[in-house]
């Protein structure tokens, strides 16, 4: 425990005033800490996450399951299940105002109206016993004070906007009567109802067929252009982010281990984990070969390894990686990476220390 708290202070110092800290961002997460207090111990789910979002841009947050990307989003929305989840440090600034110290009413005023969220599985995220028209128009009636008829008209507009065919006829349909893709469109329409400045899309395509995934991503990209909404796109799929995102933040074990402009990151990653992720994308000329993976599993968050949390899986591991938590290093042009050898990885000059980590 004592070991961990010293580790944390290193992270705090390292990532608190980052190079992006120019102030005046639309949304900014500063050095956020979240832990889950469960029967098996305290899981440190978020360990000093910082990122920011400006009006109209798209930030992709990338990471494996359990890397803390969704939890960060829930902390921003203030919908973290508590208990077991507790925010133990940091700030979430929306237009300069810290949401974490705001009253519940102030937070509620931001929820949905300023920052909206699109959830992963629309079938369970939509209420099964209300019609989609009712659900899309609910906030318009209850928060915008529209009449029932006006709210439903607006709902039809929103459904048209997300390209649901025969929108007016489908107002009275229930979520289970829609296909997966259409349901996700309903979810998107609902999130846009109050014209939010920020939309957080939490793995919006994970539950969908591959063909439908592309359609939904296209829709999100179109909407962002048309409405100039800023978007945080949470995903574990490198394939979907390239066309949509402006910047990418890669998360591992509750930290952002690399943050870069999207093309720069694809071109040359500065963290071995990102490198591993990019290498694990199957390619056409790989036919017949074994798919490349990153060996091992993400760490148990109740027992994050000392030093760099990625060190047991890293091919480039050095002694310092097992003892010191790497600070976030600024590499210029808004690029950061939390690796002791970020510059060498970026330049491609770092030699692997082992073929496969001993696991």
Partner 1 sequence: MFRYIIRRLLQMVLAFFGTTLLVYWLMFAASGDPLAALAGEKPMSPSVRAALTEQFHLDQPFIVQYFYYMKGLLSFDLGNNLSNRDIADLVLSAWPYTLRLAFLAFIFVVVVGIPLGVWVAMKRGGVFDTTVLLLTLVIISIPVFVIGSTLAMIGSMYGLWVTNVGGAGTLSAYLVPAIVLGSLSLATAVRLTRGSVSENLRADYVRTAKAKGLKRLRVVGVHVLRNSLIPVITFLGIELGGLMGGAIVTEKIFNIPGIGFELAKAINLEDGPTVVTIVSLLVIVYLVMNLIVDVLYAVLDPRIRYE
Alpha carbons 265 and 344: distance in angstroms, whole number:
15
**Least Å from the CB of residue 89 to partner 1:** 23
Helical H segments across 78-166, by residue range: 104-110, 122-125, 132-142, 148-161
The tokens describing 110, both together, are 């931001």
Closest contact distance (angstroms) between CB of 11 and partner 1 is 29
* Tokens 């939390």, residue located: 338
Q: Which is nearer to partner 1, 135 or 328 (CB)?
A: 135
Taking the least distance from each CB to partner 1, the nearer of 50 and 191 is 191
CB of 253 to partner 1, least distance (A): 24
320's enclosing H/E stretch is helix 319-323
Minimum CB distance to partner 1, residue 38 (Å)? 14
| Dist CA 116 CA 123 (whole Å) | 18
**Contact residues: partner 1, CB under 8 A:** 74, 77, 79, 108-113, 116-117, 119, 121, 124-131, 138-139, 142-143, 174, 176, 187, 190, 194
Q: Is 40 exposed, middle or buried (0-12, 13-18, 19+ CB in 10 A)?
A: exposed
* Cβ proximity to partner 1, 173 vs 214, nearer residue: 173
**Cα angle: 278, vertex 241, 254; to 5 degrees:** 70
Return the number of the residue (112 or 276) whose C-beta is nearest partner 1.
112
Output the smallest distance, CB 98 to partner 1, in A. Answer: 18
Distances in Å between the alpha carbon of 70 and those of 25, 76, 196? 21, 10, 19
Q: Which is nearer to partner 1, 62 or 187 (CB)?
A: 187
């Amino acid at each position: 425990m004592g070991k961990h708290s010293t580790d944390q202070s290193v992270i705090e110092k390292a990532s608190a005033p980052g190079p992006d800290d120019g102030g005046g961002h639309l949304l900014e997460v500063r050095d956020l800490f979240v832990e889950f207090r469960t029967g098996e111990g305290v899981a440190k789910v978020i360990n000093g996450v910082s990122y920011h979002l400006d009006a109209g841009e798209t930030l992709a947050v990338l990471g494996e399951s359990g890397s803390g990307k969704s939890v960060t989003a829930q902390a921003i929305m203030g919908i973290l299940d508590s208990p077991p989840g507790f925010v133990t440090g940091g700030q979430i600034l929306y237009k300069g105002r810290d949401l974490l110290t705001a009253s519940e009413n102030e937070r509620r005023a931001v929820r949905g109206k300023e920052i909206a969220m699109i959830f992963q599985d629309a079938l369970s995220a939509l209420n099964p016993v209300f019609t989609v028209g009712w659900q899309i128009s609910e906030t318009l009636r209850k928060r915008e004070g529209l009449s029932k008829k006006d709210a439903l008209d607006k709902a039809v507009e929103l459904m048209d906007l997300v390209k649901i065919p025969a929108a007016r006829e489908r107002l009275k349909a229930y979520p289970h009567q829609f296909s997966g893709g259409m349901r996700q469109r309903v979810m998107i329409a609902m999130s846009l109802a109050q014209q939010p400045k920020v939309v957080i899309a939490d793995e919006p395509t994970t539950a969908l067929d591959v063909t439908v995934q592309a359609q939904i991503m296209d829709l999100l990209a179109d909407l962002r252009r048309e409405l100039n909404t800023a978007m945080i796109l949470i995903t574990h799929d490198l394939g979907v982010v390239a066309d949509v995102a402006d910047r990418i933040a890669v998360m591992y074990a509750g930290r952002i281990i690399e943050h870069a402009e999207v093309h720069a990151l694809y071109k040359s990653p500065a963290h071995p984990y990102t490198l591993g992720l990019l290498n694990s994308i199957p390619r056409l000329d790989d036919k017949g070969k074994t798919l490349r993976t990153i060996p091992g599993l993400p760490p148990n968050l109740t027992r994050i390894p000392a030093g760099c949390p990625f060190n047991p899986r890293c091919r480039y591991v050095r002694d310092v990686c097992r003892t010191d938590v790497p600070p976030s290093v600024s590499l210029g042009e808004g690029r950061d990476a939390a690796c002791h050898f970020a510059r060498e990885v970026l330049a491609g000059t770092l030699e692997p220390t082992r073929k496969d980590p001993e696991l």
